[in-house]
Structure 1
């Protein structure tokens, strides 16, 4: 039992936490350090009994004792800030999930993937943190802190000044079955005017250089100011190969980060299975540098790539990237016996499709359809930008319009500057393509009429529409919908065609996706939507009974724009982007067509979506090539077949409900009205033609 007098001397919140810890069955002793500076922190040492297997006697093979002493250093601001746990000074530091700290300081276990104080506040108080500690000690005793389900723990490298920025997937992509290395030219920002000097080094894994005289001549500062310079330097990636028996070299021992010199860097490379290749590349560099005078210390980056037994925490690869920086001032600094200082560097991913996809969807290797977009207004640009931020930008964007000043109220793109964009209007498609490039993706924007492109196979090929596996139409143009629906694609490889638009003063969202082979097509699906509205009074009232408010921008007959805030437009745009992503990823669409309806409620926040499947249409063509033909919905052919079966051998009547597409030269039939008891000759003839 903890002494009551000791508790009374503590801040109330800390005393309450100590009482809770004292009641835990595995806490067999508590010692509160008498501190003169109790105003800053309170040290509470817990004697914790672990449930080790009996064969371990008093200590596990990994050095964890049956009774461990763990100190909790409570800040007086607890529970606003969490206590810091620390282990005994001689605790084995080779365990993973230990915080990096100053030499001589006691080891600190990393207990929470996130914030300890958030765990205490929302997850059961101080006992939640204690339970994490007990789990950590149990797993450390059994050498299970690294396991395949959780992932291999990275070598901890916190509180670093130097950062290497590069696409991790490209760096890992360098690794082959055999050991090897690759030189790179890096871009460096060196800052020495601060309390803690630092390097920021851009490391592009796909840009390799040969180690020749010309490469060395390009290195060094390009711009210099007081205590700062930018310029080029070298980077070296090194990776392991195979064992004599042909198996891959795997580093299955967790080691704390101890590299502080060039000699220790060589030793660490040897442990990772790439020591020989590092020595060979450095020997070559020393030979080329012989005779050079290095006026400004050159930060040479060395990345050791270790192959782990299983994937790293949060990654889809077992390859661990460990970067170091050598401040090269002399050729002798690179010798295997050199005691020249090596700076530990942290790796940060550059913006890449791999990072964006992993952050958005999890697995960057998931197969998605390549796609292009027609129309790049407010709605289209937002849908495409949602996909671009997911690492799935369109290949091609086509829009014939330019950006007017009022477009920036809702468009995903921002102006380059207020003055320039008010005077020199730019292409909507071009501006989106420019912004997509900032997300490490290549989108080509074309300012051209999409109807013109669709009608010409040569243009479709040039603008990559023929290569696109899916097309998204966001123009809300009925002409383009008809053109797109009845375009003849080469070799019969029609893309999946999607359409997204807003209706009814931005209260209604509409999304459709064609079936396989564009059957049903976008025109069929919009006809089905209108047929659906016949039975939905509320929807019909919204779509057909309201006209959006308009605002005059400048002067001229075409200077009108709908009034709607960016927030209101975005409310339905995000679901439309999700539906687009579902089609591209193949998650929720099968071979038949589909249209979705979203309704924004009166509060401007709540919304409801519904989905309707549409089976392929039956196509009835005449003998002449240019003859008018008919497309019949499945419900229509089913009703006609049923009527024939009910009255075999006799003509039947009825009314066909649908529309005529002048662009497609086709009747689209979506419903029937039963014939009256007396059938006239016109009705008989119409049904006879359809049956024939």
Structure 2
């Protein structure tokens, strides 16, 4: 607690700074104690010449306004409070609610006033900034420009209210009719404070409004439908209640700002008259009285009231012109009461804040995230669960989540879910996502095997899905997804996978028409890694390891902290949202690596153009040629326009997809022979080059075959076919011969004979 001497020093400092403001005409100290200082400052208000001559503006603001400043016990760690004179006009915007007996408080800043004041390191600067805001507010009040159609109608200010009504505002607005009316929604409430305290005292309450209507049938014959109950021995008091929504009808427009001074049921009735809701409000109170006749309860039950009125223009930062004006009052259901509002405390009413309930729209608005299509998530492990919550908290619609595994205790080391029981991960994730206004389907099936049936695809990727995110890190799942025809699933396929014990994250986003697909992209990335990235992706010391999770039980996992996984999953989600909000035709690859300092993270992103698809003659394989390999082959061919040339093909293959992805080449050794009709690949250093390339790729890229050029537009020659057969006899397929002609490509594979 500060001493009276310290508080007096604060008063002197404030006055000294205030008198330095050009619009401060004087000031005085009215009260100093250990708890509070009360000051008065006189501020000259900027206004028109006619207003100056009249002594006040048309809105009732005087040329010289005396403002009371309160420095509370927490000052200067909290901001000073500014109060206007008690008879100051209250029909203005940016005024906090107050009774007619209390001085009105203006809203001086957009946001937290304490953060604004304490953002100034010098106390005097903070004081001058607050006074400057006060002068700006008074000038706008004098001009009547505290609100305008351009910025939108400002809802009644309730920042200082102690009560919240949390509701789906859009749902309520949609139910409002064109003529006067009312409806009741079942709600839950929490009331903090003693049973005997008035709702206008230190009590705080929260009313959570549901979507279910209740007619408040006039009798108590059916007790099961009584929407009122509460706990009797705990604080907070909590239970079931109702919220009434009253409206004058959307045909009625209210363009006045009414003084926010309601504090009793009588004044609330009067306010209902002002808002055009007198008949609906009286009907509600009568129905409530009849419904609760003879019903007693020892605990106060908080009722929510929402007036829904139409304003002359759209509300500020909203898309509707219907304003919700909230209040709360307590039901005091004493035995022997003469009427519902006979008890003294039952007459009190308090202003409340209308808070939007959790919704995808709210989360999207608060997060400021890009708008992306609905997402289907495959894999609900640590990475998948983190990404699911990042997306849901950004307001992205999640259509389905897929995983056939169960939650185990060791999953809690990194998983976003906190459930320890052996229930499906997908099911638990769906239950948690519902709290964020998501309604995804839980698919507890083995995606790797079930995607083999084309009829199953719609279950994993529901209609309306625009993006599929694979987080399983499974090669089989990657291949299954890449094999889905575009006609069956038009959604874009993406993948997030971590390497190097969470120090490396990779994001793959396929191109239009599945070209490049996820298999192509990972092979392409493997061919374009930096040394650091290569170490993290392929060095065994950074890979999977067996971790004991019980006696005789182990889990093959990649040890890493939850913090590291969360950080990389968050950035991967950001990258997916960035690309999905402005999709390109080609594929996208992003890779992030945590630096050796453990703090910095470097990301680089690369665009991958569509692959060229070439059917392979002599086998049911398809060769998929990356655009940059195509460019290098054409450049090499251009270097030798009069003779055939060639080299070695490097890539990956999938026996299940029957595809070969070519992502690199090794140039012909120096002992190669080039003539106008024949190219013979040399051998000098070739074996060592192939081995080095294989090892550098983590043994994931192979020598797939050879390529050579033809000077004329012709397919495989007899010699080419013979060579293909010979190669097939020496090695397992695929062994591709790729021929570059002036206008395109031919691919051939020799038939392997027993």
> What is the TM-score with the length of structure 2 in the denominator?
0.78
* CA shift in 2, pair 1:673/1:466, >3 Å: farther
Indicate which of 601, 613, 621 corresponds to 2:595.
601
Alignment of 1:360 with 2:367, yes or no, is yes
Measure the CA separation in 1 of the matches of 2:85 and 2:267: 27
Give the deviation of 1:650 after TM superposition: 6.3
* CA shift in 2, pair 1:617/1:464, >3 Å: closer
Assess if the C-alpha contact under 8 Å between 1:178 and 1:242 holds in 2.
yes
Give 1:236's aligned residue.
244
Give 1:83's aligned residue.
80
1:424-439 correspondence runs (5 A) = 425-439=422-436
What runs of 5+ residues in structure 2 fail to find an aligned partner?
682-705, 709-719, 721-736, 747-754
Give 2:527's aligned residue.
531
Give 1:518's aligned residue.
514
Give the deviation of 1:499 after TM superposition: 0.7
Give 2:745's aligned residue.
691
1:213-232 correspondence runs (5 A) = 217=222, 218-219=225-226, 221-222=228-229, 225=232, 232=240
Describe the superposition over 1:119-142 as per-residue Cα deviations: whole angstroms up to 9, x where unpaired: 333233211111111111111101
Assess if the C-alpha contact under 8 Å between 2:468 and 2:491 holds in 1.
yes
Alignment of 1:16 with 2:67, yes or no, is no
Give the deviation of 1:371 after TM superposition: 1.3
Give the SS at the match of 1:29. Answer: strand
Measure the CA separation in 2 of the matches of 1:22 and 1:581: 52
Measure the CA separation in 2 of the matches of 1:603 and 1:227: 51
Give 1:5's aligned residue.
none
Indicate which of 572, 586, 590 corresponds to 1:592.
586
> Bigger CA drift: 542-551 or 630-639?
542-551
Give 2:690's aligned residue.
none
Describe the superposition over 1:627-665 as per-residue Cα deviations: whole angstroms up to 9, x where unpaired: 111111112333445556666686543332222221210
Give the deviation of 1:518 after TM superposition: 1.6
Assess if the C-alpha contact under 8 Å between 1:250 and 1:308 holds in 2.
yes
Measure the CA separation in 1 of the matches of 2:253 and 2:506: 53
Give 1:666's aligned residue.
659
Give 2:501's aligned residue.
505
Give 2:395's aligned residue.
391
Describe the superposition over 1:379-438 as per-residue Cα deviations: whole angstroms up to 9, x where unpaired: 1111112222223363222223222322111111113xxxxx4xx522222222222223
Measure the CA separation in 1 of the matches of 2:64 and 2:28: 14
Measure the CA separation in 1 of the matches of 2:438 and 2:245: 25
Indicate which of 44, 47, 52 corresponds to 2:42.
47
Measure the CA separation in 1 of the matches of 2:453 and 2:233: 60
Assess if the C-alpha contact under 8 Å between 1:505 and 1:546 holds in 2.
no
Give the deviation of 1:567 after TM superposition: 1.5
Alignment of 1:324 with 2:320, yes or no, is no
Assess if the C-alpha contact under 8 Å between 2:536 and 2:542 holds in 1.
no
Give the SS at the match of 2:22. Answer: coil
> Bigger CA drift: 453-462 or 518-527?
453-462
Alignment of 1:462 with 2:459, yes or no, is yes
Measure the CA separation in 2 of the matches of 1:205 and 1:410: 34
Give the deviation of 1:543 after TM superposition: 1.9
Measure the CA separation in 1 of the matches of 2:176 and 2:588: 44
Indicate which of 349, 361, 365 corresponds to 2:356.
349
* CA shift in 2, pair 1:649/1:169, >3 Å: farther
Describe the superposition over 1:341-364 as per-residue Cα deviations: whole angstroms up to 9, x where unpaired: 5554443333332332222127xx
Give 1:680's aligned residue.
680
Give 2:139's aligned residue.
138
Give the deviation of 1:616 after TM superposition: 0.9
Give 2:195's aligned residue.
193
Alignment of 1:67 with 2:64, yes or no, is yes
Give 1:446's aligned residue.
443
Give 1:106's aligned residue.
103
Assess if the C-alpha contact under 8 Å between 1:384 and 1:577 holds in 2.
no
Assess if the C-alpha contact under 8 Å between 2:497 and 2:505 holds in 1.
yes
Measure the CA separation in 1 of the matches of 2:104 and 2:207: 33
Give the deviation of 1:54 after TM superposition: 0.9
Give 1:207's aligned residue.
212
Alignment of 1:634 with 2:627, yes or no, is yes
Measure the CA separation in 2 of the matches of 1:340 and 1:661: 77
1:620-659 correspondence runs (5 A) = 620-621=614-615, 627-642=620-635, 651-659=644-652
RMSD: 3.6
* CA shift in 2, pair 1:344/1:485, >3 Å: same
* CA shift in 2, pair 1:525/1:176, >3 Å: farther
Give the SS at the match of 1:395. Answer: strand
Assess if the C-alpha contact under 8 Å between 1:568 and 1:604 holds in 2.
no
> Bigger CA drift: 593-602 or 79-88?
79-88
Measure the CA separation in 1 of the matches of 2:464 and 2:85: 64
Assess if the C-alpha contact under 8 Å between 1:184 and 1:203 holds in 2.
no
Indicate which of 486, 491, 496 corresponds to 1:495.
491
Measure the CA separation in 2 of the matches of 1:159 and 1:78: 18
Alignment of 1:566 with 2:559, yes or no, is no
Assess if the C-alpha contact under 8 Å between 2:249 and 2:309 holds in 1.
no
Q: How many residues align?
A: 657
* CA shift in 2, pair 1:647/1:466, >3 Å: farther
* CA shift in 2, pair 1:188/1:572, >3 Å: closer
Assess if the C-alpha contact under 8 Å between 1:511 and 1:597 holds in 2.
yes
Measure the CA separation in 2 of the matches of 1:521 and 1:187: 50
> What is the TM-score with the length of structure 1 in the denominator?
0.84
1:143-292 correspondence runs (5 A) = 143-148=144-149, 151-157=152-158, 163-176=164-177, 180-188=181-189, 193=195, 195-196=197-198, 202=207, 204=209, 206-210=211-215, 212=217, 217=222, 218-219=225-226, 221-222=228-229, 225=232, 232-243=240-251, 249-262=252-265, 264-275=267-278, 278=281, 285=287, 289=290
Give the deviation of 1:513 after TM superposition: 0.6
Assess if the C-alpha contact under 8 Å between 2:15 and 2:28 holds in 1.
no
> Bigger CA drift: 438-447 or 518-527?
438-447
Measure the CA separation in 1 of the matches of 2:638 and 2:265: 89
Assess if the C-alpha contact under 8 Å between 1:504 and 1:542 holds in 2.
yes
Assess if the C-alpha contact under 8 Å between 1:262 and 1:333 holds in 2.
no
User: Which one has a bigger Cα radius of gyration?
Assistant: 2
Give the SS at the match of 1:155. Answer: coil
Give 2:607's aligned residue.
613
Measure the CA separation in 2 of the matches of 1:291 and 1:202: 20
> Bigger CA drift: 641-650 or 77-86?
641-650
Measure the CA separation in 2 of the matches of 1:102 and 1:274: 21
Assess if the C-alpha contact under 8 Å between 1:162 and 1:344 holds in 2.
yes
* CA shift in 2, pair 1:159/1:219, >3 Å: farther
> Bigger CA drift: 465-474 or 343-352?
343-352
Give the SS at the match of 1:207. Answer: strand
Assess if the C-alpha contact under 8 Å between 2:198 and 2:348 holds in 1.
no
Give the deviation of 1:178 after TM superposition: 5.6
Assess if the C-alpha contact under 8 Å between 2:219 and 2:290 holds in 1.
no
Measure the CA separation in 1 of the matches of 2:213 and 2:143: 43
Give the deviation of 1:525 after TM superposition: 0.6
What runs of 5+ residues in structure 1 fail to find an aligned partner?
1-7, 244-248, 416-420
> Bigger CA drift: 492-501 or 679-688?
679-688
